[in-house]
Amino acid sequence: MPAKKKPTPDTWNYESTVEKIEDILHLMESGDMSLSDLFEQFNVAADYLKTCDRFLTERRAQVELSIEHLTDEPDF
């Protein structure tokens, strides 16, 4: 299987990445994969999960910062 290009931030989408993870899991659960392919797909899914985790961590930090700004008392 050829190496996949890493998506750029402009083209990456959380929801579609989660769908890809789910597709990989269904394929792995089907039992129709060789052990070599199973390990390869496991690594692909793990990379997708890391990317999703980074995305969620960054967004959580942005939300927390926005909340801080909303709750700050104005200096008059």
**Residue 28 backbone dihedrals phi, psi, to 5 degrees:** -65, -40
Tokens of 31: 């039992």
Residue 8: inside a domain = no
Residue 63 in any domain: the answer is yes
Quick one: tokens of 65? 């910062």
Write out the chain's pLDDT in tens, 76 residues: 445 555 556 789 999 999 999 999 999 999 999 999 999 999 999 999 999 999 999 999 999 999 988 887 666 6
Count of structural domains, the chain: 1
Phi/psi at 52 (5° precision) = -65, -40
CA distance 70 to 74: 10
Q: Tell me, rounded to whole angstroms, the distance of Cα 48 from its chain centroid.
A: 5
Predicted model pTM: 0.75
In a domain, 30, yes or no: no
| Angle formed at CA 15 by CA 6 and CA 19, multiple of 5 degrees | 80
In a domain, 3, yes or no: no
- The answer to the question of residue 45 being in a domain is yes
